[in-house]
Amino acid sequence: MKIAAISDIHGNLYALMKVLEDIDEQRVDKIVCLGDLVGYGPHPNEVIALIRRREIPCIKGNYDASVVDGEYTFIRNTTINSFSLPWAVNEVRVSNKYYLDSLPLKLEYSINGINVVFTHGSPTKINEYLFEDGENTSQTMQDFSGDVLVCAHTHIPSCKNFDNKLFVNVGSVGKPKIGRPNCTYALIDISDDGKVNVSIREVEYEFKRIVKDCVMLNFPSAITQSYESGQE
């Protein structure tokens, strides 16, 4: 079974559309979204509509949760967020806030004898950063009872074995932090005999389109430039 895991779209419709095109070419059996559909980007309602139209199972991200409650409960109170959060709270339709609020905090699947758990941050905290070499990541994987943990939130893709467990971070579709303006997502292929193969795919898209939209909407230059540089 081949699964495409996407996350951190952050209101970037152009990136999501291009990634879904690439996923369709990979002939996957299932797509799972790890959350953060909204925040930063100018297309939150359109992104939610596309995820729902494609019937993609999705979990709640920390920015999704903050847009629902309208507070800095799960995100940092930074200069960028002081613009981005109120903008998204005002822009996201009430019906879409209900959708975001209804999303689960994790998804679990048993595939060919392999237990795969999808979370946004860590299994215990929606906004915990799990970097592959972090001490908290090592502890998380030690405590983890499944076989494969798939997470996001850092916007930096990675894959690492922790003894007999596998850690995967899928990166970000809509707001990458890899030093390039490209989308990333993970392909997780679990064979009939339970062998797991993971590849990180990097997809180019027309990032100048979202830059243009942000400029037209008078978004802060820090947001606009992040799409060009692939950095925070």
Place of tokens 């070419």: 25
Query: Any idea of the CA torsion for 204, 76, 103, 38, to the nearest 10 degrees?
Result: -40
CA 121 to chain centre: 10
Q: DSSP letters of 64-131?
A: HHHHHHTSSSSS---HHHHHHHHHHHHHS-HHHHHHHHH--SEEEEEETTEEEEEESS-SS-TT----
> Domain map of the chain by residue range?
2-229
Averaged over successive runs of 10 residues, the pLDDT of the chain (232 residues) comes to 98 98 97 98 98 98 98 95 98 98 98 97 98 97 98 98 97 97 98 96 98 97 96 88
Asked whether 156 and 131 are in contact (CB, 8 A), the reply is yes
Say how many CA atoms lie within 13 Å of 224 toward its Cβ: 13
Tell me, which fold does domain 2-229 have in CATH?
A: Purple Acid Phosphatase; chain A, domain 2 (3.60.21)
H or E element that contains 228: helix 221-229
Prediction pTM value: 0.97
Query: Any idea of the CA torsion for 111, 112, 115, 117, to the nearest 10 degrees?
Result: -20
**pLDDT at position 232:** 84
